[in-house]
Chain A
Amino acid sequence: MSSKILSKDKLDAFLQGLKGARDVFAPAMVEGKVGWAAVEQASDMLTEFSNTEMSPKDFFFPQTECMMRFKNASGDPEGMIMMAEPALARPRALMNIRPCDAKAFQVLDLIFVQDEMTNDLYWRDKRERTACIGLACNDPCPTCFCTSVNCGPHHEAGLDLLLVDLGDKYLVKVLNDKGAELAKDLPAAAAGDEAKAAELKIAAEAKITGGVSMDQVKSREVMELYEAGHWDRVQESCLNCGTCTFCCPTCHCFDIQDEVQGESGRRVRNWDTCMSWLFTMHGTGHNPRGTKKDRVRQRFMHKFKYIPVKRGGEIGCVGCGRCVQLCPVNIDVRRVVNDMNA
């Protein structure tokens, strides 16, 4: 589709336009860290940042979310019956999403919405009512490896608009009808602007040197990868702490729990982690993934083999590098995948 131009001195006007119909969130300094926050004016937004510490997945898949409620009164005619929680009240816009995090939304769309039965309305409603505006990376981090996992610093998947920083202005790539509506008042880009963005894209991609190879992972059978020897090395250092699963933009495992306070009860879902031994433990005490090795292997196999097998080759990793930065024992996902591929 077409490209538009957003001059940086018009950024606030653009933001105020968005705010007419939506709550707007963007990367900002939150308690000394780069996080996501509601923004009122352009000056609230960070423009020079690598990426937020946590991914924005929780706008669609909150760390804790009420799914339904019930009246905890068995004598009441409506008591104990689960009633759906109302959907998001006001539409949202997310500004300055990094392309890897947006790509993760698209991966998760394939998992949360598969068919009539596997049709997660909590995820879907929020996705449909949120505008996603990306900010291309011109300076990737040393831990970035998006280009080797079907993504890239200027990737467009999962976005409605992609902004490319051209210095005093942004090139605004319009990616679908929703994006066209958001950018309808912006002036059209000149051919020179598009050419400059294309150069920046090539330059950004060239800055990403570390990566993963997956050709063998793709062609090998599940059991060959599962039984490979290198898992013993990975599990030696892994603490099963789950940090990687919480910061990961594609990790989506969850638990469902009931909570009761007096006459009000609710069923909530919370982020969970495949690193926990309780995660798979049967009521009888039997545990199909009873060892640390079983659990750490599950995480990598899920992302790099099981999701591709089931979701038409899509990879459950977008190369954001958060787990590389945050792992307390320096397990590097790139090394693990390259060992799987060796």
Chain B
Amino acid sequence: MRNTYIPYPVRIKQTRVETEDKQLKSFLFEFMRDEDAEAFKYMPGQFAELSVSGYGEIPIGIASSPTEGKDLLFTVNKVGAVSTRLHNMKAGDVMGVRGPLGNSYPLKANEGKNIVIVAGGFAVTTLRSTMNWLLHPDNRAKYGDITFIYGARTPGMLLYTEEWTAWQKSGQAKVCVTIDREAPGWSGLVGFVPTVTEQTAPNPDNAIALICGPPIMIKFTQPVFDKLGWKSDQIIMSLENRMKCGIGICGRCNVGPEYVCKDGPVFTKTQLDRLPREY
């Protein structure tokens, strides 16, 4: 039986500063052993513990999609000791990845439906994974309309701009990207995510919504969905909490009886309505 606390060794293949404030940086990892790459089977919405020896571990959503190959992409916000150290590491450095952890967005269970994705700020990471998975030729035909609503404060704070531009051009998805206020050189949508969601007016018939963003965005987006007639079990959200073990033992990420690391991070609004707001 494998010791699930031991990270798989990986090498940083590539790094990229993603935002104008330099707080968000992406890391592409390659597994050092083929068998580890083989063992790491994941779906969009799952996360992993990034392990920096001597500093510790941080739980981060997987931004790559399994349809993109064996390398793993993570976009990390610089906040604490581990993420700050990670931001100072460079291509070629060795670290660890432990996972995949948690459940995933219920994509396979919702084949045949329209998918509405709402992302705010850097919570877009696992939804990037989801979009890449959905738009892959093996999967695209299994779903109806795909709508991608994504907002950030400024154009310079938007992640993965090349990619969502390509999704927009491909005609495979309706892409609505917005920034909070008018900015020079920006010709796209302007306004907060809830407002843009209201204007886009996603239809609840035969659809699910995947929502991930800061609490304030979720707070004001939920009433929009309610007004449009969406039911709580159609609304799917991803939570984050402080974690250590990542496998449902160590006791800190639970929301009521549910461990965000093991039973989540993905929950329906129906589930969350029955739980304390400890997230």
Contacts and interface: CB of A to CB of B under 8 A. Distances in A.
* A and B are partners in one complex rather than unrelated chains: yes
Interface of A: 67-68, 70, 72, 74, 79-84, 111-112, 114, 116-122, 221-223, 226, 252-258, 260, 265, 267, 272, 274, 279-284, 288-289, 294, 298, 301-302, 305-307, 309-310
Give the 7 A-B CB pairs with smallest separation, nearest first. A253-B251, A283-B79, A306-B257, A283-B80, A288-B278, A309-B257, A80-B53
A222 B276 contact: yes
A82 B7 contact: yes
B6 A82 contact: yes
A74 to B, nearest CB: 7
B249 A257 contact: no
A226 B276 contact: yes
Interface string B249-279: 1111111110000100000000000111111
Contacts, number: 136
B250 A255 contact: yes
Interface string B230-262: 000000000011101101111111111100001
Interface stretch (B61-69, B91-99, B136-144): B91-99
B1 A221 contact: no
A254 B251 contact: yes
Contact of B3 (A72, A74, A84): A84
Given A280-B252, A288-B278, A256 B257 contact: no
Contacts of A68: 5-6
B57 interface: yes
B248 A118 contact: yes
A59 to B, nearest CB: 18
Interface in B1-15: 1-7, 9
A156 B245 CA distance: 31
Nearest to B101: A117
Interface of B: 1-7, 9, 32, 51, 53-58, 77, 79-80, 83, 93-96, 101, 240-242, 244-245, 247-257, 262, 274-279
B3 to A, nearest CB: 5
A274 B1 CA distance: 30
Nearest to A276: B252
Given A121-B1, A272-B251, A265 B53 contact: yes
A119 B96 contact: no
B214 to A, nearest CB: 10
A302 B79 CA distance: 29
A209 B229 CA distance: 56
B161 to A, nearest CB: 24
Contacts of A302: 251, 254
A82 B278 contact: no
20 contacts: A80-B9, A81-B96, A84-B3, A117-B247, A119-B2, A120-B5, A223-B275, A254-B245, A256-B57, A256-B250, A258-B55, A272-B251, A274-B251, A282-B242, A283-B58, A288-B241, A288-B279, A298-B254, A307-B257, A310-B257
Nearest to B78: A283
Contact of A79 (B51, B83, B94, B253): B94
Nearest to A81: B9
A278 to B, nearest CB: 9
B95 A80 contact: yes
A34 to B, nearest CB: 28
Contacts of B53: 70, 72, 80-82, 258, 265, 267
B276 A279 contact: no
A111 B257 CA distance: 13
A260 B80 CA distance: 18
Given A72-B53, A255-B250, A226 B94 contact: no
A260 B96 contact: no
A252 B56 contact: no
A284 B80 CA distance: 8
Given A222-B256, A254-B244, A265-B53, A120 B249 contact: yes
A84 B245 contact: no
A257 B82 CA distance: 11
A84 B80 contact: no
A253 B94 contact: no
Contact of A265 (B54, B77, B256, B262): B54
Given A118-B262, A222-B274, A258-B54, A282 B241 contact: yes
Contacts of B257: 222, 305-307, 309-310
A281 B244 CA distance: 12
A274 B251 CA distance: 7
B219 to A, nearest CB: 14
A119 B278 contact: no
B249 A256 contact: no
Given A81-B9, A254-B251, A74 B94 contact: yes
Contact of B256 (A226, A255, A294): A226
B12 to A, nearest CB: 11
A300 to B, nearest CB: 13
Contacts of A288: 241, 255, 277-279
A306 B274 contact: no
A301 B276 CA distance: 11
A154 B131 CA distance: 58
B250 A253 contact: yes
A80 B55 CA distance: 11
B278 A294 contact: yes
Contacts of B96: 81-82
Given A119-B4, A223-B256, 16 more contacts: A67-B5, A80-B93, A82-B6, A82-B96, A117-B101, A121-B3, A221-B274, A258-B53, A258-B54, A272-B244, A274-B251, A280-B241, A284-B79, A288-B241, A305-B257, A310-B257
Given A80-B94, A121-B3, A288-B279, A260 B251 contact: no
